[in-house]
Structure 1
Amino acid sequence: MKNLSFEIEINATAEKVWDAMWTEENYRKWTSAFCEGSYAKSSWKQGERIHFLDPNGNGMYSEITTLVPNEKMFFTHLGNIKNLEEQPIDEETKAWSGAQENYTVISNGATSKVIVTMDIVEEYANFFSESFPKGLATIKEIAENKL
């Protein structure tokens, strides 16, 4: 697995950035950089499962391993979802099960920095290297009230 890291400076408070990232409407906006119509189903509580889904009900399930509002949201990816159902871990899934995807917001008063680190299977590294900056740019637009 490969580790990727992305960051962006945003002219908004950590609270505004957090809202831009994790409220349902905003989450759908910025994650469209990866898949149009993608969304998440979750209680948004530490230790709980989260389903990352495409419009067809396919995606992955993960655990929210760390959640500190306005500061950190860390996920551990576990397995695939097909037709809204969690799938058993198979040989293909074993290659990435346990991968981390971590979001950190560092407040500097009226500005914030978002840092994303993620473990990724090599074959998807180029896709995320191209897509993630677009998603972060959308978060910036939302937080700075330009979207």
Structure 2
Amino acid sequence: METLLYEVQINASPEKVWDVLWSEITYRQWTTAFTDGSFYQGTLEEGSIVKFFDPNNNGMYSRVEKNIPNKEMKFLHLGEIYDGVESPQDWGDATETYILEETEDGTRLKSEIHSPVEFIAFFEDKFPKALGIVKNLSENQL
């Protein structure tokens, strides 16, 4: 398991950045960095299961480990989904955490990912692009 860290300074409030991250419309926009047409199903309440899909009904499912509005969201990844069918995986502590820190100039958005080695190249390529889109949406949307 590797730990990957990404960070971006955003000239917007933590509330605005949070809204961009987790509102249905903007979530679909910033996750195009990973796959066009990405979306999620489920609630973001702690302990709930969320399913992350591409347009072909493939993706992954995760448990919400932490949800502190406007501050922190953490997912524990449990398995993959192929053609809508869940396939549990033994990924151990494969987590994805979003931390929002208020700063003088807005918000520092940090992402910490505990990833199996086989996904590192994907995250290294895609995650900085995704955070750039979050920054753009947060700073430029009404």
TM range (shorter): over 0.9
Which of 99, 104, 112 is the matching residue for 2:107? Answer: 112
Q: Which deviates more, 78-87 or 56-65?
A: 78-87
Unaligned runs of 5+ in 1: none
Partner of 1:125: 120
Shift of 1:120: 1.3
Unaligned runs of 5+ in 2: none
SS at 2:57's partner residue?
coil
Shift of 1:52: 0.8
Q: Distance in 2 between matches of 1:109 and 1:44?
A: 28
Which of 85, 88, 95 is the matching residue for 1:100? Answer: 95
Point out 4+ residue stretches in structure 1 off by more than 2 angstroms: none
1:14-45 residue CA offsets vs partner (Å, 9 max, x unmatched): 01100111101111111110111111111121
Q: Distance in 2 between matches of 1:29 and 1:136?
A: 11
Q: Distance in 2 between matches of 1:70 and 1:43?
A: 16
What is the TM-score when the length of structure 1 is the normalising length? 0.91
Q: Is 1:18 aligned to 2:13, yes or no?
A: no
* AA at the equivalent of 1:22: W
Identity %: 39
Q: Distance in 2 between matches of 1:33 and 1:143?
A: 16
Partner of 2:85: 85
Q: Distance in 2 between matches of 1:22 and 1:30?
A: 10
Shift of 1:110: 4.9
Pairwise CA RMSD:
1.5
Q: How many residue pairs were aligned? A: 142
Shift of 1:123: 2.1
What is the TM-score when the length of structure 2 is the normalising length? 0.94
Contact 1:79 1:97 in 2 (8 A): no
SS at 1:144's partner residue?
helix
Q: Is 1:61 aligned to 2:61, yes or no?
A: yes
SS at 1:35's partner residue?
coil
* AA at the equivalent of 1:78: L
